[in-house]
């Protein structure tokens, strides 16, 4: 079966391409290389021994999207990662985010809606919950007003898919709301490659471990958590990639209970920033310099998943630990900077 992976050279996308190819799917990657590197393709080929078809394309071009689906009429599914994802940048440039994250989604769904049957997996996020009233967070938790345009694009993206599925019953879709993806492939051929100063905790930690950054800033130690630092659910990117393939297979096998479903993808365990630092120090054998600074606007106190629904209905469960994830992220950082 031919599956399109948009943003397939990005962090989560590239790991998902690997898992798809390992399961025998034919993969077509669409990526505009705005936040990724063509070298990632070499890493995918080294791991799987197969070269996916790669098309450099900007999905904001509606005509090009139409032409692609005309040419590839045999596409049976799309896993949609292509989106801008930096919270701070979205606040500064909301229109870029709305165009890039929502316009492209609409164009793809318009094309899939013309097909007799199509399968669609959407890269959503736990940001849709904001600061949840109860922990762990279940799929039935209320979606709070978004803290940023980025978060809003995930909420509205889900609404667009849900509304489309109501009238286009031939479209089968699953939105995966995932928590904090971290780590790298065990082969160390692909991993997280942030451009410029990392927006996420783990690459900042590994870059600090390499001496690229003087020290890590810990934003706030006065939260109502076990050690005062913010708590998140860190999921190994390989576990997350596998969840996408399992979700896609659920749709192909017609195991879905409705043509639009939502699943949380996380470990079910919350880890504080200080716990993450300790885990890194354990697996790397390095002392990590850090300083406590003020809280960041928009940061929630704690967020971790209730994964019961994904465990039972998808038959998926996170297998790798925080130590596993940090060990792989550290190996990847050493390779990239070596």
As annotated, the active-site residues are: 150
Dist CA 87 CA 76 (whole Å): 32
145, 190, 168: which is closest to 41 by C-alpha?
190
Token digits of residue 119: 């399968």
Question: From residue 44, how far is each of 21, 48, 154, 317 by CA, in Å?
Answer: 9, 6, 27, 24
Q: Write b or e for each residue in 65-92: b if 16 or more Cβ atoms lie within 10 A of its Cβ, otherwise e.
A: beebbeeeeebbbbbbbbbbbbbebbee
CB 218 within 8 A of CB 293: yes
DSSP 305: B
Q: How far apart are CA 264 and CA 314, in angstroms?
A: 11
Rounded Cα–Cα distance for residues 102 and 221 (Å): 36
Instruction: Provide the token pair at 92.
Output: 């500064």
271 φ, ψ to 5°?
Answer: -125, 135
**What's the chain's length in residues?**
338
Q: Are residues 135 and 302 in contact, defined by beta-carbon separation less than 8 angstroms?
A: yes
In degrees rounded to 5, what are phi and psi of residue 171? -90, 120
Q: Please, are residues 268 and 312 in contact by the beta-carbon 8 Å criterion?
A: no
Question: Whole-angstrom Cα distance, residue 334 to residue 328?
Answer: 10
The alpha carbon torsion through 225, 228, 232, 233 (nearest 10 deg) reads -60
Alpha carbon distance 203, 195 (integer Å) = 11
Residue of 183, 207, 181 lying closest to 196 (CA atoms): 207
Name residue 217's beta-bridge partners.
291
């Amino acid at each position: 079966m031919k599956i399109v992976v948009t943003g397939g050279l990005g962090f989560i996308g590239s790991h998902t391409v690997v898992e798809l190819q390992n399961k025998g799917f034919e993969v077509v990657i669409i990526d505009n290389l705005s936040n990724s590197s063509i070298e990632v393709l070499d890493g995918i080929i080294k791991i799987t021994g197969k070269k996916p078809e790669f098309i450099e394309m900007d999905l904001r071009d509606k005509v090009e999207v139409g032409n692609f689906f005309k040419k590839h009429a045999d596409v049976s599914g799309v896993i949609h990662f292509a989106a801008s994802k930096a919270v701070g940048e979205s606040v500064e440039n909301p229109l870029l985010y709305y165009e890039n994250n929502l316009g492209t989604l609409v164009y793809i769904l318009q094309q899939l809606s013309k097909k007799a049957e199509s399968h669609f997996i959407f890269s959503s996020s736990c940001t849709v919950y904001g600061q949840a009233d109860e922990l762990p967070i279940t799929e039935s938790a209320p979606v709070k007003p978004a803290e940023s345009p980025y978060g809003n694009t995930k909420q509205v993206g889900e609404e667009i898919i849900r509304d489309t599925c109501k009238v286009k019953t031939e479209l089968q879709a699953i939105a995966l709301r995932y928590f904090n993806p971290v780590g790298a492939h065990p082969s160390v051929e692909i991993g997280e490659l942030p451009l410029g100063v990392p927006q996420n905790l783990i690459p900042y930690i590994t870059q600090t471990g390499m001496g690229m950054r003087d020290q890590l800033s810990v934003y706030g130690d006065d939260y109502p958590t076990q050690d005062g630092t913010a708590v998140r659910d860190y999921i190994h990117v390989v576990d997350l990639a596998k969840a996408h393939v399992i979700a896609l297979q659920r749709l192909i096998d017609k195991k879905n209970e409705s043509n639009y479903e939502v699943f949380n993808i996380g470990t079910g365990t919350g880890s504080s920033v200080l716990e993450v630092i300790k885990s890194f120090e354990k697996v790397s054998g390095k002392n990590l310099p850090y300083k406590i600074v003020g809280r960041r606007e928009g940061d929630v106190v704690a967020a971790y998943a209730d994964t019961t629904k994904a465990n039972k209905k998808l038959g998926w469960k996170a297998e790798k630990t925080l130590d596993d994830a940090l060990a792989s992220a550290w190996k990847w950082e050493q390779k990239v900077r070596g």
